Every structure is written in C-alpha cells, then in structure tokens.
Amino acid sequence: MNNRLGRQTVTFDNPPIIIETASTVGQKEGKGPLKSTFDVILDDDTLGEKSWEKSESMLQKKTALLALEKAKLQQSDIDYILAGDLLNQCVGAHYSVRDFDIPFLGLYGACSTMTESMSIGSMIVSAGFADYAMCLTSSHFCSSEIQFRNPLEYGGQRTPSAQWTVTGAGCAILSSKGTGPKITHVTTGKVIDKGVTDISNMGAAMAPAAIDTLIAHFNDTHRTPDYYDMILTGDLGVVGSDILVELMLKEGFDIRTKHKDCGKMIFDIEGQDVHAGGSGCGCCSSVFCGYVYRELKRHNLSKVLVMATGALMNPMIIEQGESIPAIAHAVAIEI
C-alpha cells in the first residue's frame, strides 16, 4: 500500500502511540508560565557534574530513565533509542546512553531534533521493526553558550532578536500497542536557505523552513489550518513566529488563531528578560513532553501538528561567510 502523500508526507496504517513522556527543565524555565506542567524542575543546573557538557548528558539520561519509570518499562523493552542534541558530535546524547544496552540511532537536526526523532521512530514502529522506540533530545543554556557564542564569563550583550537556549530535555516513548495520542502523519522538511547571516536572529533564519514544511503538509494532506486545535512550532520565538504567521497568510493559510510557539510559551518574555524567547532542542521537547502531551491526554487538545525547526550551521562555517540553512519537520498527533 502506498503510504506517501505527495512529495514530503507519509501516513501510517498502524499509527504509533505515544504511551508516555517525561520532561525536565532548569531553574529559569521552572519559573516560567508552564512550570506546573514539567515532571522535574532542577534545583541545580549542573546536576552535580564538573562541566556543562557532562551536565547536559546527565540531564538527558535522567529524563530517559524517568520516562521508562512512568511507562513501567525496563531498558530491555526498548528496541531503539533515537536521540540528539546541539553539541559537537552529539556528545550530549552519546554519553547519556552509553550505559544503556539499547540499539541507538544518533540524530542531528539542531533544534528540529525532537520531531526528527519522532518522525523516524514512528516509521520504525509503524513498519513493525520495533515495539517500543524512545525519542530523546536536550539542550543546556550554558553548554550552548560556550559552543555557539561566548563563555558565560564574557558577559556579552544580547541583541533584541537573540533567543535564550532552554535548559531542558524531553523523552517520548512510542509503541505499537497501548493507549494514548497517535502519530498519524509525518511531513519531512527540506533544507531551506534564504540567505540570512545574522547568528543572533535564528527566528528569521528558521521561519522560511517552517513555511515550506507547513505548506507541504497542507498540500500533501489536503488539510487546512482549521483541522488542528494547535499548530505548534518549536522555537521560532517572537521574531520567527511573526514572520511565519505573516507569510503563511500571504500564501493563503491563516494560522493566526491556531499557532503557538514553544519558545514564546516556556518563558515570560518580558518578565524573564529572554529577548525573543526560547530556543534549543530542549525547548520543543520539554514543552511537548510536558504541557502539550498533558493536554492531549486530558482531551483538551485532540489534533496537534508539532513542527520543530533547526538552524543547520556551526560557528566555523558562519565565520567563513556562509548563510544559515534551516529545516523543519512536522508530526501530526491525534486522539
């Protein structure tokens, strides 16, 4: 049976079920508007480790173990872990799972990694290659600052368009059986580069990729924005969200009443002085695995399109004068 819809979307005869999630966030995120929806709020963002990179690995590991505990599963029940992060060579994920005796697929989609992992995990489970797949991502403000900007001690000024990397992690366990929200469609994004070169304006760099994937999803599925209760982007922030809504309207799709952005939801934008909002792999993963999954389970939401976006660059290539390519992957989830 042909399960492809158009160029970029697939649908599932046996939709995988999100049977459980876990979410962990740092102290700053734990003071934001969604503080009551996270499983764990850290009281120490170092998690007792001696470096920020080790802290992020521990953050991811503890979140994965919590998801297993909540799902009442053992490590031996999981057929695949699909995980990634923002650090060079994805060391956050690699070191977090090295004590797990579970087949592992490391992924890098920058901040789109959560929906990338859920997309591939869904394909594996739906095709019958796994009964359980664990989708796991994280980011840490301090480890990201060292890698992409300057060490914290530098104390540099942040531009108004800059976003605050979320200290957080999310884990979703997909299953071929059980109860819970189902992943019905996956729309895989393309690498889109509109020539943005400002590394302090990730929202502008990623918005074109979100527009491209969202239009592809609607065209492939013949759905309209009204089909969904929520169209959730990962971390476009204030700047990127405004661009997305405005340009989608010009393309004939009015998402104004449906669109939410994790980067705008996780922080009090003005009160917490995060400029254009949150970003990072942990932004989408913690908000989806916390607030959004809870609302789906409570049937306050029944149809959600989750689309995380990622800027596919590193500091070295930007210093060589390159622009910033981006990507967005969308996952349709329904009760």
Find all residues with CB under 8 Å of 146, minimum gap 6, and list them: 52, 152
In which residue ranges of the chain is pLDDT below 70?
1-2, 149-161
Quick check: pTM over 0.85? Answer: yes
CB 231 within 8 A of CB 307: yes
CB 82 within 8 A of CB 133: yes
Of 138, 156, 175, the residue that ends a domain is 175
Return the beta strands (E) in the chain as ranges.
Answer: 4-5, 9-11, 17-25, 40-41, 80-84, 104-106, 132-139, 164-165, 168-175, 182-187, 230-233, 259-261, 278-279, 303-311, 326-334
Of 175, 210, 231, the residue that ends a domain is 175
Same domain, 224 and 167: no
Of 118, 147, 175, the residue that ends a domain is 175
pLDDT at 319: 83
Alpha-carbon Rg of the chain, whole angstroms? 18
Domain containing 260 equals 182-334
What DSSP letter does each residue of 116-166 carry, written as one string? HHHHHHHHHHHTTS-SEEEEEEEE-HHHHHHHHS--GGG-----TT--EEP
CB 125 within 8 A of CB 16: yes
Same domain, 228 and 280: yes
Q: What would the pLDDT profile of 159-190 be if each residue is shown by its tens digit?
A: 656 777 899 999 999 999 999 999 999 999 99
pLDDT at 269: 85
Whole-Å CA distances, 105 to 23, 24, 114, 127, 334: 21, 22, 13, 17, 26
Same domain, 203 and 254: yes
Q: What would the pLDDT profile of 129-156 be if each residue is shown by its tens digit?
A: 999 999 999 999 888 777 776 665 555 6
Same domain, 190 and 42: no
Same domain, 186 and 71: no
Instruction: Kindly report the CATH number assigned to the domain that includes residue 161.
Output: 3.40.47.40
Same domain, 241 and 324: yes
Report the number of distinct structural domains present in the chain.
Answer: 2
CB 329 within 8 A of CB 186: yes
Same domain, 163 and 214: no
Per-residue 3-state assignment (H helix, E strand, C coil) for 35-60: HHHCCEECCCCCCCCCCHHHHHHHHH
Angle 283-53-147 (CA atoms, 0-180°, nearest 5)? 75
Same domain, 204 and 158: no
Same domain, 13 and 160: yes
pLDDT at 1: 47
Same domain, 207 and 312: yes
Shortest CA distance to 237 belongs to which of 273, 212, 274?
274
pLDDT at 162: 76
Q: Coil, strand, or helix at residue 247?
A: helix
